[in-house]
Structure 1
Amino acid sequence: MAESQRDVKNRIASVKNIQTITRAMEMVAAARLRRAEERIALLAPYANGIRRMTRQAAAAAGTLPNLPILSERESVENVGLLLIAGDRGLAGAFNSQIVRAGVAAAREAEAGGVGAVFFASGKKPASSLRFRKFEPKASFEGFSDRPAYADAQRIAAAVIDAYVSGEVDRVEVIYNHFVSAVTQTVTRETLLPLQQASILDADGEGEEPGAAGGRIATAPEYEPGPDEILTRLVPDYVEVSIYRALLDSTASEHGARMSAMRNATDNAKTIIEDLTLAMNRARQAAITQEIMEVVAGAEGVA
């Protein structure tokens, strides 16, 4: 049955209300994105410094100290997968693509005879994993909009404890790397063991240039020795790496939500235009019908 003009007007009013909400959410996400980008920029020098110091200490130590957190397992029986996403939805594929990447990594590990142990940062990845019958060993929620370093420390403590206890033999993190407001790339990195982490293969980002514009060639001297310094640096390296991933994920979430809300606002505009056109056509049809009835009545009287 065709909709009345009143029904169409009500639909237009409803879509306009939704459009107002999505436009407001887009503006909020844009403001939060700017703050998230600032936090990433502020962390970069410290994160690069930790990476550089850990790499230099590992090179100076020659062989890594024989400690549980630094031991590389002869065989990998279980891999720990830390999925970092958000607590809320309405951000396009931001959350779902992390869960898909994590499940794909688990399937890949299982195909090679390796088990998977999940850790989840964010309510969405935790609930999605449970829906897929993958119960996370630990989940951390409530801070995806503005993570603090203390949150990264809690997550790092959980994954380090699982590694040191032998529950997992490798720890990987999967998160959305922030490129721009419209581009976020799913990134998978190895945190532990240190021998397999990307930090030992880094190209020297953050190194200080020498007087002639090259790199400083003088090796640093350590007091106490590089072994003890490395032992203290590795937990900090894990915490900073996770914190950097959390900030990247936060910026990516705000960028994804801003794009999603912009698309929703544009779609609402298109729907309003289509409904307005349909209402005008219905009004014209009603007027034409009334004119025909008047003409028919006049002819009947004549």
Structure 2
Amino acid sequence: MSASQADVKDRIASVKNIAKITRAMEMVAAARLRRAEQRIEALRPYARAVRVMTRAAANAASSAEINSNPLLQRREKEERVALLLVTGDRGLAGAFNSQIIRAGLKAAADLREQGEEVAFFAVGRRGVSTLTFRKQEPLGAYTGFTDRPAYANAREVAEDLITAYVDGKVDRVELIYNSYVSALTQEVRRETLLPVQEATIWAAAGAEEDTSFSDADADEKPAAHALVEYEPSPEGILDRLIPDYVEISVFRALLESTASEHGARMTAMRNASENAGELIDDLTLEMNRARQAEITQEIMEVVAGAEGLS
């Protein structure tokens, strides 16, 4: 076998080994994606209930309480905005991490053009390392849990964001993360988290309250608006619910990002396996051509030798 054939054969073996790895990673990502989807489905009813209760308590609370709650206060002048970028700890997931980083840097550039300062917070090693490399050290860095975030992780992130907002270090907090649509589709979302009254998902509670009844239940709809008595008081309940509301919002973003990461990795590994198969076919064809050329050359040498003896 010629040296070229041996090289091609080694390359084929190498690509086959890589294909085995990518197929295994695709299967692992598919299994983790299903678990992540189940966690999102389990969270949605609870998150919806918290949003509805928080909004109801806010409507029942006095305006003085609303104005005194630091998480509900709107700043007259926003000078510094916090951006929380939710990325992954690992790569090999297509554009999953890069599109979040691009969106975060673009948002920061737009805010700076408006004369506002930017403070970064980052979840995931990819986001933390990229911001550090770009000399934009994040105020908060959270790593090691993006494959399977726990509620305690969301609480840690939320507490730091709340503290920064209450202490006046930032005047608004925004989340930038990948929203899970399907295994093939992940959408970058930018949502306002604080102040709560300007939160992007705050309006969702009102919509859920208005759409919780069908036409068939029209006769029973007034019962949903019956007088609600609060114990201890709407203000006390609101003070307890607002931090939970922020934590749930962060946890939802983490779960959405996790599902998006697994979906993106599964798709990327499937594409890599398919590309490996195509490359193996091309290399096999190249090796066969080299073998055919070698056989042809040997035949020509035999014929030339026979002619020389005749």
User: Under a length normalisation based on structure 2, what TM-score does the superposition of the two structures give?
Assistant: 0.94
Partner in structure 1 of residue 194 of structure 2: 192
Would the aligned equivalents of 1:65 and 1:231 in 2 still touch at CA under 8 Å? no
Tell me if 1:112 matches 2:114: yes
What is the rounded CA distance, in whole Å, between the counterparts of 1:186 and 1:90 in structure 2?
A: 18
Partner in structure 1 of residue 304 of structure 2: 296
Report SS of the residue matched to 1:172: strand
Partner in structure 1 of residue 208 of structure 2: 205
Q: 1:265 pairs with 266, 270, 273, which one? A: 273
What is the rounded CA distance, in whole Å, between the counterparts of 2:76 and 2:122 in structure 1?
A: 27
Deviations 1:248-279 (A, max 9, x none): 00000000000000000000000000000000
Q: Which moved more, 1:183-192 or 1:125-134?
A: 125-134
The amino acid across from 1:233 in the alignment is: L
User: Structure 1: any 5+ residue segments left out of the alignment?
Assistant: none
Partner in structure 2 of residue 17 of structure 1: 17
- After TM superposition, give the deviation of residue 205 of structure 1 in Å: 2.4
Deviations 1:78-110 (A, max 9, x none): 001011110000000000100111111110110
Partner in structure 2 of residue 37 of structure 1: 37
Between Structure 1 and Structure 2, the one with more helix by share is: 2
User: Under a length normalisation based on structure 1, what TM-score does the superposition of the two structures give?
Assistant: 0.96
Q: Which moved more, 1:136-145 or 1:208-217?
A: 208-217
Partner in structure 2 of residue 238 of structure 1: 246
Partner in structure 1 of residue 236 of structure 2: 228
Would the aligned equivalents of 1:5 and 1:279 in 2 still touch at CA under 8 Å? yes
The amino acid across from 1:59 in the alignment is: N
What is the rounded CA distance, in whole Å, between the counterparts of 1:141 and 1:284 in structure 2?
A: 55
TM alignment of 1:49-68, pairs within 5 A: 49-63=49-63, 64-68=66-70
Partner in structure 2 of residue 26 of structure 1: 26
User: Structure 2: any 5+ residue segments left out of the alignment?
Assistant: none
Q: Which moved more, 1:289-298 or 1:203-212?
A: 203-212
Partner in structure 1 of residue 226 of structure 2: 218
Would the aligned equivalents of 1:52 and 1:204 in 2 still touch at CA under 8 Å? no
Partner in structure 2 of residue 175 of structure 1: 177
Partner in structure 2 of residue 86 of structure 1: 88
- After TM superposition, give the deviation of residue 218 of structure 1 in Å: 2.2
What is the rounded CA distance, in whole Å, between the counterparts of 2:199 and 2:69 in structure 1?
A: 17
The amino acid across from 2:149 in the alignment is: P
Q: Which moved more, 1:281-290 or 1:220-229?
A: 220-229
Measured on the aligned residues, the alpha-carbon RMSD in Å equals 1.6
Deviations 1:118-169 (A, max 9, x none): 0001000111111222110010000000000000000001100100010000
Would the aligned equivalents of 1:55 and 1:199 in 2 still touch at CA under 8 Å? no
Q: Which moved more, 1:73-82 or 1:194-203?
A: 194-203
After superposition, the Cα gap between the structure-2 partners of 1:109 and 1:3, relative to the gap in structure 1 and judged at 3 Å, is farther
Q: 2:102 pairs with 93, 100, 103, which one? A: 100
After superposition, the Cα gap between the structure-2 partners of 1:218 and 1:267, relative to the gap in structure 1 and judged at 3 Å, is same
% identity of equivalent residues: 62
Would the aligned equivalents of 2:47 and 2:248 in 1 still touch at CA under 8 Å? yes
Report SS of the residue matched to 1:213: helix
The amino acid across from 2:256 in the alignment is: D
Partner in structure 1 of residue 4 of structure 2: 4
Would the aligned equivalents of 2:176 and 2:188 in 1 still touch at CA under 8 Å? yes
Would the aligned equivalents of 1:81 and 1:117 in 2 still touch at CA under 8 Å? yes
What is the rounded CA distance, in whole Å, between the counterparts of 2:298 and 2:215 in structure 1?
A: 90
Report SS of the residue matched to 2:168: coil
Tell me the matched-pair count: 301
Would the aligned equivalents of 2:51 and 2:245 in 1 still touch at CA under 8 Å? yes
Would the aligned equivalents of 2:62 and 2:235 in 1 still touch at CA under 8 Å? no
Would the aligned equivalents of 2:172 and 2:194 in 1 still touch at CA under 8 Å? yes
